[in-house]
């Protein structure tokens, strides 16, 4: 569509033009030599996982989960991320329970307006561990690994403000079910609340365009199993990014769909890929400990996710 030529002249016109430039939403062009993924350090991500695991079990409502919130906030804020808590009460099989999602935006200052602006990409992990009363479950891979990867990605992105401001980081509470398995009424408490309260009210043009979820990404024997119902575009782009970085042999497609925090985001119209390695022998056992993980695996997933986000998702 051709627009009529604006009847502006002189300084007023220039002023309006410069305002428009200041509000430009265009992300910076991708430059492979200085791309974010190159700075993602699997060792640094691993240090975060160690600190998190040392807190012990971190089920919803626990003091140790509050400590992990503070840990995340104290890492993000000095880097320039604004962090807000989305706290709510969920109905669980064990009665009402308080949950808190952590949302982070890259901006010079916090304001209510900031949180009403849309971002292009959601980059997420859950941060609660599954509750066991009869055993000690520290969740090094589930969810320590993806928390550590997201915290390291926050450092890398903070050095690239023009990119970072297009991304919202989210740490979901209450991913794990209180019963043995996630059901429509139990589990995904944080992502369902985020979907209902944050995404659903947004008109389609204001919704984030994509989401990337990380879960169980630190297994030494890394074999990513993308759920088979991943939105097709995202499936292709994720595999292309893995290929571009020489990690294609670590990425496969599961024969199953997987129920995880990406499901409520997909339901609310934000196509989201779950980068998960579900072939993990220690899943939901007391043996999900730090010795099962490697910095190399964290590096492979962190770099691939950043390549995907910067190279493809922020610009499309
Ligand atoms: Zn789990």
Which domains are present in the chain?
Answer: 41-313 (3.40.630.10)
Note the pLDDT of residue 52: 98
Give distance in angstroms: CA of 182 to centre of ligand 1. 9
CA 50–ligand 1 middle distance (angstroms): 18
User: How much distance in Å is there from the Cα of 298 to the middle of ligand 1?
Assistant: 17
Residue 163 CA to residue 27 CA, distance in Å, equals 6
- Tell me, in angstroms, the distance from the centre of ligand 1 to residue 305's CA: 20
pLDDT at 316: 79
Angle, helix 146-158 to helix 42-53, in steps of 10 degrees: 130
Cα(73) to centroid of ligand 1, in Å? 22
What is the distance in A from the centroid of ligand 1 to the CA of 53?
Answer: 14
d(CA 265, CA 49): 25
Collect the ranges in the chain with pLDDT lower than 70. 1-24
Residues 307 and 316: their CA atoms lie apart, in Å, by 14
Q: How many whole angstroms from 119 Cα to the centroid of ligand 1?
A: 27
pLDDT at residue number 10: 41
Run of H or E including 18: helix 10-22
Distance in Å, CA 248 to ligand 1 centroid: 25
Please state the pTM of the whole predicted model: 0.92
Q: Residue 313's closest CA among 33, 37, 22?
A: 37
Place of tokens 């009665």: 95
């Amino acid at each position: 569509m051709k627009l009529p030529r604006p009847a502006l002249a002189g300084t007023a016109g220039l002023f309006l033009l410069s305002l428009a430039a200041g509000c430009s939403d265009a992300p910076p062009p991708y430059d492979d030599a200085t791309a974010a993924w190159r700075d993602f350090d699997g060792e640094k991500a691993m240090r975060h996982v160690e600190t998190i695991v040392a807190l012990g079990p971190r089920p919803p409502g626990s003091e140790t989960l509050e400590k992990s919130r503070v840990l995340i906030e104290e890492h993000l804020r000095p880097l320039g991320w604004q962090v807000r808590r989305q706290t709510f009460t969920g109905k669980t099989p064990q009665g009402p329970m308080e949950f808190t999602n952590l949302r982070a935006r890259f901006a010079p200052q916090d304001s209510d307006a900031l949180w009403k602006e849309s971002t292009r990409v959601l980059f997420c992990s859950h941060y609660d561990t599954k509750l066991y009363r009869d055993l000690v479950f520290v969740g090094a891979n589930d969810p320590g690994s993806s928390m550590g990867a997201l915290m390291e990605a926050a450092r890398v992105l903070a050095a690239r403000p023009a990119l970072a401001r297009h991304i919202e980081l989210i740490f979901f509470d209450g991913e794990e079910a209180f019963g043995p398995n996630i059901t429509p009424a139990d589990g995904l408490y944080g992502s369902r609340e985020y979907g209902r309260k944050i995404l659903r009210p947004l008109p389609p043009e204001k919704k984030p365009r994509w989401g990337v979820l990380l879960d169980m990404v630190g297994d030494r024997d890394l074999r990513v199993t993308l759920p088979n119902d991943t939105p097709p575009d995202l499936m292709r782009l994720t595999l292309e990014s893995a290929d571009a970085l020489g990690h294609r042999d670590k990425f496969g497609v599961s024969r199953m769909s997987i129920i995880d925090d990406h499901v409520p985001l997909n339901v609310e119209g934000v196509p989201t890929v779950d980068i998960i390695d579900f072939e993990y022998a220690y899943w939901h056992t007391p043996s999900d400990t730090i010795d099962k993980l490697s910095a190399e695996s964290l590096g492979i997933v962190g770099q691939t996710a950043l390549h995907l986000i910067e190279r493809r998702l922020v610009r499309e």
